[in-house]
Chains A and B, each alone.
Chain A
Amino acid sequence: MDKNTATEKNTTIIKNATCTFCGCVCDDMELTVDLDEKCIIKSKNACVLGKAWFSEHSVDESRPVALIDGKEASLEDAIEEAAQILVNARFPIIYGLSDTTSEAQRQAVAMADYLSANIDSTSSVCHGPTGMGLQGVGEPTTTLGEVKNRADMVVYWGCNPTDCHPRLSTHFTVMPKGMYIPNGRKDRTVINVDIRSTSTTNIADLFVQLKPGSDYELLSALRSISRGRRLNPSIEEQTGVPMATIEDVAHRLMSCNYGILFFGMGLTMTRGRHYNTGALHLLAADLNEHTHFVVKPARGHGNVTGADTVMSWQTGYPFGVNFNRGYPRHEPGEFTTTDILVRGEADAACIIASDPIANFARPAIEHLKKIPVISFDPKPTPTSQIARVALTTACYGINVPGTVYRMDDIPIPLRPAFESPFPSDLDILKPLTERIRELKAH
């Protein structure tokens, strides 16, 4: 940690700090920290989302470290109550994990194992279908550094990074000059495929608007052209995209030197889900007969990629993992959290760094409100409001050191700005797991 004493106020400067708001995990932040007020007063290099992330995570020392049934409690009592809830449940679930360190994620997997519980991350309602798609067809993968240095063709399909990952284009993929991209933006072509124009469309050379729900058809059409086949004219009616545009896009993709397909929820949350993402990966594979092409999902939360990675090397599966039989099993639709809640199977939930009450489908929320919930979050949320045990945690990256994985699966170390009086997720998960082991032993 590189600290320099600054002026007047009791401040310090943290160089090369890491922003954990989104999957870009930019690690070139320069933070000015007010040590007396325990807040970040300036975040150089951060985007608009990063600035909000840093400025809004000051420490509110008036908050209790824990609430049990809405009443203030000690951390020890809260851990005991949480352990009792989880041990006495027949089908406990652990969910969330995308906004915490990989060290905490690893501990959560261990806890799930001791509990014979179900563990799942927010991936299952995000890029879960991406994992399913690439498991079936393989992943032509890359890193953002390689994209920066080589990509002369950038496709944003069903995603809007200008709003959601503001520095993806400016820091990694479109604007920067690279080893083989000496003129930066001028050397790249940007194509935006979406059902609507967005702020990302504004930076694109070509906007391809397709009908809602016709991604699979358009992807298949592009694959057909790349394989030298002729299209049925009905593709225009199916996708809403003129034949000439489809052929133009296909030939641009085939003739570039190095292409990257970034994609988002426009593919995973719509009809087709994993078939869409599988088709996208197959398109990249087909294009490798003509040039070099790779794929990357534009991941949302700061360490959702870490959740997939940690769960994969701990259990063999990236999300939706069940330990009921004493060994890990993976089955999307069976062991994914929405399905478990909609079927009314779970009878206790440990929600770590996530807010399903704000984002899940209505039937899943209705069941979650019926069962005892343990929540971990730095801020009050709709989920912490309904929790039997609500734990206030320190914020990863700002208060907590550790490791997170960027959207291209690169592990990045965290350089926290200041200490929090609240425990980290890991600080709670370790004694909670230990207490669960004790209770299970009796």
Chain B
Amino acid sequence: MILVPMRTTKQGTTLNAGKLKDAYKETTSTAEIKQEDMDRLGLKKGDRVRLRVGTHAVVVSCIPRKIKVTDNSSGLIFMPYGPTTSALMVDGDTAGTGMPASKHLVVEIEGPLAPEEDDG
């Protein structure tokens, strides 16, 4: 699937409270996935999934996207920018611009994970 890091209001309010606090960590480690994709992958709201790029992986929880206007965003994962999405930006190449490819990261998704599975 394609991971698209993004900004959200909750990310903005929680970073004001502090980036070391649980609320910020939680919102920047929650993936929003279209309900149809979650059904296809056998995922339920709150399930933990592993996102992997090459040899690097993170474990996040997932929730269905809440949208009013229907779109065709199948195959896309949205997650607020933060340490978790940075951990999946494994390529520092900026194509001579200074800007690494921060959106449209191709990730493998694995889940739902059992509670005892670690974050590696």
Contact = CB atoms under 8 A, between A and B. Distances in A.
B68 A128 contact: no
B100 to A, nearest CB: 4
A132 interface: yes
Contact of B71 (A160, A209, A271, A300): A209
Interface residues of A, number: 64
A132 B97 contact: yes
Nearest to B98: A336
Given A196-B71, A240-B72, A381-B19, A361 B86 contact: yes
Interface in A32-51: 48-49
Contacts of A379: 18-19
Nearest to A126: B99
Interface in A323-342: 332-333, 336-339, 341-342
Interface stretch (A52-60, A67-75, A135-143): A52-60
Interface string B11-23: 0111011111000
B69 A268 contact: no
A212 B104 contact: yes
A358 B15 CA distance: 11
B13 A48 contact: yes
Contacts of B7: 160, 163-164, 265, 300
Interface residues of B, number: 46
Interface stretch (A227-235, A362-370, A421-429): A362-370
B68 A57 contact: no
Interface in B19-63: 19-20, 56
Interface in B65-100: 67-73, 76, 78, 81-83, 86-100
Chain B residues touching A, majority SS:
loop
A125 B102 contact: yes
Contacts of B2: 212
B98 A197 contact: no
Interface string A199-226: 0011000010100110000000000000
A97 to B, nearest CB: 14
A4 B68 CA distance: 44
20 contacts: A49-B16, A124-B99, A125-B98, A128-B98, A129-B97, A160-B7, A201-B71, A202-B69, A212-B76, A240-B72, A273-B97, A274-B97, A332-B96, A338-B94, A361-B102, A362-B86, A362-B88, A363-B90, A363-B91, A365-B86
Interface of A: 21-22, 48-49, 52-53, 55-57, 120, 124-125, 128-129, 132, 160, 163-164, 166, 195-198, 201-202, 207, 209, 212-213, 240, 265-266, 268-271, 273-274, 300, 319-320, 332-333, 336-339, 341-342, 355, 357-365, 379-382, 385
